Amino acid sequence: MKKIGILFTLVVLSVFFTNCSNKSDEYIDPRGTDYAGSESCIQCHQVQYNMALQSSHFKATAPAISENVLGDFDKGDHTFIYDKNTKLVMEKRNDSLYQVLYKNGKEVEAHRFEIVFGAKHAQTSVYWRNNNTYELPVSYYNSIHNWATSPGFPADKPYFDRMVVKDCYACHASNASSRSVNQNSEERNFMSMDVEDIIDKKTIVYGIDCERCHGPAKKHVEFHLKNPNVKVANSITSIKNLNRQQKLDACALCHAGNDGMKLKSRFEFKPGDNLSEFYRETRSINDTTNFDVHGNQFRLMAQSKCFINSEKMDCITCHNPHENASKNMASYSKICMTCHKGLKHNQQTLKIMPEKLLADNCVECHMPKKASGAIKFQLSNSKQLSEYILRTHKIGIYPANKK
């Protein structure tokens, strides 16, 4: 009887461990069979995964279910007035959320929130039509805790025909293509998938997931499940092992604007690749070009003397890519002081703010918040343009804060 009990226990355990280790085997990723899916990372990297799950990277796109959509649909102001006869109302209908257009009190058209883009500063949404996504005309802005026109949309008439192309997904999702990669083939033609005019819903991998930054992880997961005592990462890209330019390119893929000449789809980029093989710059970062604060973090940083004079400075000098930028300004000042130790402000500056406060907040003066020239928005029933404010990554001495 005792032997039967032991045998039963062994069978149960074997089933348990088989199910655990085969989790990634059951998953089919639209990018191909060498991908394991981010959930496979939880087994060994739970702290990093939980942290990343709450980050703006992970939330760059998401299905438009209620818990992912910003703005209150139950109370408060969720109506956008175009004129006395035309309004757009954010409405909850059963389990779905809609932007509903009314003219003279009658419903004209309604479009469902299908996918949301962004979460930290603002959030815009898209709906599906004929195998493509189209941006909804009103977005939610955290700076005003309210709805306003989506970037570039008019405030005097509703507009539902702006297509959100695949290249937009290239920095807001980990995959989006017109068809699934052939699961039985090593060959992938991402570029042809990128330029075709339709998007297959099943190919979307929402947000910037683990494998977008660390590369395909199937072999990595299989190896470490079979060899749990091996602590050196196998068959995966560790960012810390990349050289400086490779680290910069991995971030610049999406944080250096998108006005260059595209050579390959960004979805094809793997950490360690050379960005120049994907985009050809049309403007030199070394000239006096005024790059917009939106989406140009790398190019602005690259114009900074701090970056130019350093052999080591890169994006992760200041940022942990698994989490959002810290709101603790003093933490950045400590990084600044590793190079600027003992630096004194002049008397004119000290009249504005005490030395101690200045020392704990380098960023406020040397990386001030600026208005984006690319993004502006209008509030309901208003002709005034509101500014979209972001912190510049061009480190410098600015006239208003000159020392």
Q: Indicate whether 360 pLDDT > 50.
A: yes
Tens digits of per-residue pLDDT, 27-49? 789 999 999 999 999 999 999 99
| CB atoms closer than 10 angstroms to residue 32 | 19
**pLDDT > 70: percent of the chain:** 86
Residues facing residue 92 across a β-bridge: 97
C-alpha–C-alpha distance, residues 249 and 336, integer Å: 23
- Which candidate, 293, 90, 116, 265, places its Cα nearest to that of 195? 265
C-alpha–C-alpha distance, residues 324 and 14, integer Å: 40
Determine whether 43 is exposed, middle or buried from the number of CB atoms within 10 Å of its CB (0-12, 13-18, 19+).
Answer: middle
Please tell me the predicted confidence (pLDDT) of residue 212: 96
Tens digits of per-residue pLDDT, 203-253? 999 999 999 999 999 999 999 999 999 999 999 999 999 999 999 999 999
| pLDDT-derived band at 194, boundaries 50, 70, 90 | low
Please tell me the predicted confidence (pLDDT) of residue 187: 46
| pLDDT-derived band at 400, boundaries 50, 70, 90 | low
Low-confidence winner among 157-166, 205-214, 274-283, 290-299 (lowest mean pLDDT): 274-283
Low-confidence winner among 68-82, 95-109, 115-129 (lowest mean pLDDT): 68-82
Determine whether 349 is exposed, middle or buried from the number of CB atoms within 10 Å of its CB (0-12, 13-18, 19+).
Answer: middle
Triad 303, 214, 285: Cα angle to 5°: 15
Two tokens at 89? Answer: 């109302």
- Segment 51-61 shows an average pLDDT of 95
Under 8 Å between Cβ of 180 and 169: no
Q: Indicate whether 156 pLDDT > 50.
A: yes
Q: Indicate whether 403 pLDDT > 50.
A: no
Within 8 A by CB and 6+ apart from 41, the residues are 48, 49, 210, 217, 221
C-alpha–C-alpha distance, residues 5 and 11, integer Å: 10
Residues facing residue 121 across a β-bridge: none
Please tell me the predicted confidence (pLDDT) of residue 18: 43
C-alpha–C-alpha distance, residues 13 and 241, integer Å: 37
For residue 360, the one-letter residue type is D
- Segment 280-309 shows an average pLDDT of 86
- 247 DSSP assignment: H
- Segment 296-312 shows an average pLDDT of 94
| pLDDT-derived band at 352, boundaries 50, 70, 90 | confident
Q: Where is 15: in which H helix or E strand?
A: helix 2-21
Please tell me the predicted confidence (pLDDT) of residue 384: 82
- Segment 288-293 shows an average pLDDT of 84
Please tell me the predicted confidence (pLDDT) of residue 303: 93
| pLDDT-derived band at 91, boundaries 50, 70, 90 | very high
Q: Indicate whether 15 pLDDT > 90.
A: no
Mean pLDDT for the chain overall = 86
DSSP H helical ranges for 144-184: 166-172
C-alpha–C-alpha distance, residues 209 and 60, integer Å: 10
Q: Indicate whether 177 pLDDT > 60.
A: yes
Higher pLDDT, 257 or 2: 257
- 261 DSSP assignment: E
| Residue 72 backbone phi and psi in degrees, to 5 | -100, 120
Q: Indicate whether 8 pLDDT > 70.
A: no
| pLDDT-derived band at 6, boundaries 50, 70, 90 | very low
Within 8 A by CB and 6+ apart from 341, the residues are none
Q: Indicate whether 117 pLDDT > 70.
A: yes
